[in-house]
């Protein structure tokens, strides 16, 4: 009798997983050809160089192949591969020498001597619903995230977009939990300032 299918996998993923676990060459080719293009886009958000993205993609698939036997199906195959790819990108980033980046203070809100904000601006004229419906708004947010200093951008991506925990983010970036919290707050503040120019 075969094991019951893992709960988070779609029917076609269960079949694909069974083929992968049986060592079916065609299944591995199918996995790389169908999942690779999306993973490459994910990696391009983290790694600016094409060669790094391609190397990380290869590392991600090899890690996934090795971990197939341990995959419990507690997420979809796509989500599982996505996490592995981001982890590979982080390992690659950690191993690279970091270039100098613009100080985060340049992006943070400025204050008067009495503690009031300089140029507080108006309430934002944007709602979540309009943002959902508007591709241009989402593209503007994406570009603003990309404009953040690298070390802060990575934390924002991991915490607010990938929804990794603070502890997981700290481990991936080899930072303390307290440092991740502080940097995340600064990253959000900096992004808010960038978006304020458009929405405030």
Chain contacts with another protein (rule: CB under 8 A): 25, 28-29, 32-33, 36-38, 40-42, 44, 54, 57-58, 61-62, 65-66, 109, 111, 114-117, 120-124, 126, 128, 131-132, 137-138, 141-142, 145, 156, 160-163, 181, 184-185, 188-189, 191-192, 195-196, 199-200
Give the C-alpha separation, 20 to 168, whole Å: 28
Residues in the chain: 200
Smallest gap, in angstroms, from Cβ of residue 4 to another protein? 28
Q: Toward another protein, which CB reaches closer, 18 or 137? A: 137
Spatial contact of 169 and 159, defined as CB atoms under 8 Å apart: yes
Smallest gap, in angstroms, from Cβ of residue 25 to another protein? 8
Smallest gap, in angstroms, from Cβ of residue 27 to another protein? 11
Spatial contact of 42 and 82, defined as CB atoms under 8 Å apart: yes
Smallest gap, in angstroms, from Cβ of residue 37 to another protein? 4
Spatial contact of 119 and 107, defined as CB atoms under 8 Å apart: no
Smallest gap, in angstroms, from Cβ of residue 97 to another protein? 25
Q: Toward another protein, which CB reaches closer, 5 or 40? A: 40
Smallest gap, in angstroms, from Cβ of residue 59 to another protein? 9
Helices (H), 22-102: 25-46, 50-67, 77-95
Residue 45 sits at the vertex; the CA angle it makes with 152 and 55, to the nearest 5 degrees, is 115
Q: Toward another protein, which CB reaches closer, 33 or 95? A: 33
Query: For residues 108-130, b (16+ Cβ closer than 10 Å) or e, as one string?
Result: eeeeeeeeeeeeeeeeeeeeeee
Q: Toward another protein, which CB reaches closer, 99 or 127? A: 127
Separation in Å, CA 118 to CA 82, 124, 176: 41, 17, 32
Q: Toward another protein, which CB reaches closer, 98 or 116? A: 116
Q: Toward another protein, which CB reaches closer, 93 or 153? A: 153
């Amino acid at each position: 009798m075969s094991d019951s299918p893992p709960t988070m996998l779609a029917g076609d993923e269960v079949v694909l997983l069974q083929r992968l676990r049986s060592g079916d060459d065609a299944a591995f080719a199918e996995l790389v050809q169908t999942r690779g293009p999306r993973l490459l886009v994910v990696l391009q958000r983290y790694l600016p160089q094409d060669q790094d993205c391609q190397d990380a993609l290869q590392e991600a698939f090899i890690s996934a192949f090795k971990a197939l036997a341990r995959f419990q199906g507690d997420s979809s195959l796509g989500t599982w591969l996505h996490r592995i790819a981001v982890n590979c990108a982080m390992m690659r980033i950690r191993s690279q020498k970091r270039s100098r980046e613009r100080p985060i203070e340049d992006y943070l809100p400025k204050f008067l001597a009495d503690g009031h904000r300089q140029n507080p601006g108006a309430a934002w004229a944007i709602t979540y619903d309009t943002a959902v419906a508007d591709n241009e708004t989402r593209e503007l947010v994406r570009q603003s995230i990309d404009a953040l200093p690298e070390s802060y951008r990575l934390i924002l991506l991991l915490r607010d977009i990938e929804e990794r925990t603070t502890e997981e983010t700290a481990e991936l970036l080899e930072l303390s939990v307290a440092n991740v919290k502080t940097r995340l707050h600064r990253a959000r503040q900096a992004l808010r300032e960038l978006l304020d120019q458009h929405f405030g």
